[in-house]
Chain A
Amino acid sequence: MQELSQTRLGEVIQASSTTFCAQCYELYSLPPLGTLVKTNEGDNELYAVVYQAFTEGIEPGRKPIARGKDEPSEEAVFKANPQLVKLLRSEFAALVVGHKRDGRVNQYLPPRPARLHGFVYECSSEEIAGFSRCYTFLTLLVNAKAETPSDELIAAVLRLMSASQEDPRAFLVNAGKELAALLGQDYARLKAILERIKP
């Protein structure tokens, strides 16, 4: 039933306490940066936000090579080389921002990391609204040591979340206030984020 109503984005192929990495079933069917996704770990439902996505060859030692010199369009490259779809894969990495246990959302790290081959789903609007009732998860994002600049990530997460709110502006203002408390000593960073989430 869950699969019918929700979009399955991919499958966990690597996991740690703070992040997990998932491979998409289709090439390029990547969720946008900052999307709230979820996966199951036993009784816990893990929530995470997409902080990184990439597409590469399936073999680490073999770099893709340019093939479209004589092709009229990009689609034609794939048509002429149907194996490409199988030789390339899209993956995304997500930062764990909370979990649900016994119906209660906790915005701190779960006791155990995600399981490999666990399915990863995109959260629905209701779930996003339910999750973003409180802003404690911002602490995890502010302190995250990810390749993506965390300011960009925070801004992307808040922009996407605001779309699922009844009053997006009020949501952004409150989130901004929470950030102001977290970044009280770092006005430059706070200003950069506010510039990016301004409605």
Chain B
Amino acid sequence: MNRESRLGIVVSGSLSDGVAVRMDGHTSVEDVVVGHYVTIEGQKHRFLGMITDVKLDASDQHMTFFPPSADDDFSAEVLSGTSAYGMLTVTPYLLIGGAAQPDVNEPQPVKTIPSHFSPVGLSSDADIELVFGKEDDKKFWIGNPLDMETKLCLNLPEMVKRSNGIFGKSGTGKTFLTRMLLIGILQKSAAVNLVFDMHSEYGWKHRNEKGRDVKALKQLFGSKVAIFTLDEENARQRMVTPDFVAKIGYDEIEPEDISLLRQTLNLTDLAVDASYSLRKHFGKDWINKTLNLDGEDSAKVLNALNIHEGSFQSLKRGLTSLTRLTFTQPHVEQQAVSQILTRLENGTHVVLEFGRFTDIAAYILVANLLTRRIYDKYRERTERSIADGSAAPKPLVITIEEAHKFLNAEVASQTIFGTIAREMRKYNCTLLVIDQRPSGIDTEVMSQLGTKITCLLDNERDIDSVLAGTSGKSGLKGVLARLAAKQQALIFGHAVPMPVAFCPREYGTEGFYKEISSEQPNPKEIEEDINNLWR
């Protein structure tokens, strides 16, 4: 460790609270930043850790009462680093070699702490690279650790094996981060994406906060991406040519969907119960028939099904408001679900734009309805593949926004998203949850998220819920609360060996587009494409 990078020595600490590092006199506390990586040269191991706190301390508390005067440079120079010094709290995360295991290639999680007086220095790029790897056909570069040149690369095929979450306050860069991650998934062919794009920002170009247009998936990857829309007129206005205009038939809506919309449509519990009875009574076309029910017929049916008139009216009002959404029709010939599934099977990524239907009721209805059917198919196909040994379906990542509306404690057990977050990993289908109020998401679902990426959060409950169950939580809390309001994020969980505060790659510049598009498809893929052409 050279003198420039050396920060100090370990003087005390514990595995649970991190080690205390007394800073050398020549380093200023102003040069170290919470979230920086440090390497600790222990006697037998090398440790990689993160600075989680910086503190000024004095060997004699009298100094804090009678400090030297401000113009006394001499005393200040003498005292700084000796009687008055900086202390760092470092949480060790990984073992990266050292005398006891010099040839180690894989960083190991720590189970001990460095011994007293081990020197501590800023990690070199080589150390960081050892941990986060290089960009390759599986690893995607999403950004750089704070103040470092090294690339932070994620193993995407590994990451999408579990559900993941992106959190952050509004305006902190969630959308850009998500777009980057979707590109990564697309590029590394780790999985196919299905994006429920509430604000139409992932498929076609979108304007950033500086008022500049940035390209999105379809523009960057052309035929690999299909845009579905619920709102043809809106797409036309935005000069987007959708691949498919999705319509939802009344007969596709099930009582489960209605139950999920109970709060949004302001339905009573009895009204929801009534929907189940009516579905059973009328069969597939129950909504149409319920809406046309009046007069004597109505009284007869309600009597037979033991439904109270008030509940029936409440349900009817709710159903009417659904039928007012222009993308719903009594019957649809070409079902959106089968269209989406065909594309996903071909490896085409699907972005479903909601256009002007940014109403949460429409979003919940459509997302839930489509996903439930996709879930059934995936489950069926995976089970078949296990039974007859055929290929399992391609891993699917479903991206949902405003996740707390689907996954809050009240409805998480009912919606299909709750089920996917909990168990669909086995069926090759995972979620990418995007949300600004993580505290609203059911704790059971939160605990199942493999990797969490979070931009700045400043609500105590949100921070707590994001970090719940993470080791070194108190330290990370400090790091998270001090992220810059823009373009900084913290990633931790399954996909990274240790938590990292990072600056996401800059999105939307010419250089970025070039880097993304210059990645050539591998020769095997080209050959396959040519073969398909002559088939």
B62, B77, B83 — most chain A CB neighbours (10 Å): B83
List, in ascending order, chain B residues with CB within 8 A of A183's CB.
83
From B66-74, B194-202, B212-220, the one touching the partner chain is B66-74
Q: Compute how far the CA of A181 lies from the CA of B63 in the bound complex, rounded to whole angstroms.
A: 14
Chain B interface residue count: which class? 10 to 19
CA separation between A68 and B152, bound complex, in Å? 90
Is the pair A194, B60 in contact by a Cβ cutoff of 8 Å? no
A187 with B78, Cβ < 8 A, contacts A177-B25, A198-B72 known: no
* Assembly CA distance A125 to B191 (angstroms): 78
Separation of A101 and B351 alpha carbons in the complex (Å): 86
Q: Are A180 and B74 in contact (CB under 8 A)?
A: no
The CA of A179 and the CA of B74, in the complex, are separated in Å by 14
Give chain B residues whose Cβ lies under 8 Å from the Cβ of A198.
72, 74-75
- A184 in contact (CB, < 8 A): yes
Q: Is A199 part of the binding interface, using a Cβ–Cβ cutoff of 8 Å?
A: yes
* Distance A190 CA – B60 CA, assembled complex (angstroms): 11
Q: How far is the CB of B82 from chain A (nearest CB, A)?
A: 3
Is B79 close to A, CB under 8 A?
yes
CB-based contact A173/B81 at 8 Å: no
Choose among B59, B66, B77, B82 the residue that contacts A191 (Cβ–Cβ < 8 A).
B66
Given A180-B79, A180-B82, do A172 and B74 touch, yes or no (CB 8 Å)?
A: yes
Q: Would you call the interface of chain A mostly helix, strand, loop, or mixed?
A: helix
Q: How far is the CB of A182 from chain B (nearest CB, A)?
A: 10
Q: List residues of chain A with CB within 8 A of the CB of B79.
A: 176, 180, 194
- On chain B, the residues within 8 Å of A191 by CB distance are 66, 68, 75
Residue A188 is within 8 A (CB to CB) of chain B in the complex: yes
Docked Cα-Cα span, A179 to B486, in Å, equals 46
Q: Assuming A173-B77, A173-B78, A177-B78, is B83 touching A187 (CB within 8 A)?
A: yes
* Binary interface encoding of chain A residues 166-197 relative to chain B, with 1 for a CB under 8 A from any of its CBs, else 0: 00010011001101110111111011001100
CB distance from A158 to the nearest CB of B (A): 11
A176, B79: Cα distance in complex, Å: 8
Closest to A198 in B: B74
Contact residues in B for A187 (Cβ distance below 8 Å): 58-60, 62-63, 66, 83
In the docked arrangement, what's the CA distance between A186 and B83, Å?
10
- Given A186-B60, A187-B63, A188-B62, A181 and B82 touching (CB < 8 A)? yes
B residues within 8 A CB of A180?
A: 59, 78-79, 82-83
Give A21-65 as 1s and 0s: 1 = Cβ < 8 Å from B's Cβ atoms.
Answer: 000000000000000000000000000000000000000000000
| A185 touching B60 in the complex, CB below 8 Å, given contacts A180-B79, A180-B82 | yes
- Choice from A181, A185, A190, A199 contacting B74 with Cβ under 8 Å: A199
Contact digits for B15-55, partner A, Cβ 8 Å, 1 yes 0 no: 00000000001000000000000000000000000000000
Chain B residues near A181 (CB-CB < 8 A): 82
CA distance A190 to B66 in the complex (A): 12
For B193-234 the 0/1 string (1 means CB < 8 A from A) is 000000000000000000000000000000000000000000
State the B residues within 8 Å of A (CB). 25, 58-60, 62-63, 66, 68, 72, 74-75, 77-79, 81-83
A interface residues, Cβ below 8 angstroms from B: 169, 172-173, 176-177, 179-181, 183-188, 190-191, 194-195, 198-199
30 contacts across the A-B interface (CB closer than 8 A): A172-B74, A173-B74, A176-B74, A176-B75, A176-B77, A176-B78, A176-B79, A176-B82, A177-B78, A177-B81, A177-B82, A179-B78, A180-B59, A180-B78, A180-B82, A180-B83, A184-B82, A184-B83, A185-B60, A187-B59, A187-B60, A187-B62, A188-B66, A191-B68, A194-B74, A194-B75, A194-B78, A194-B79, A198-B72, A199-B74
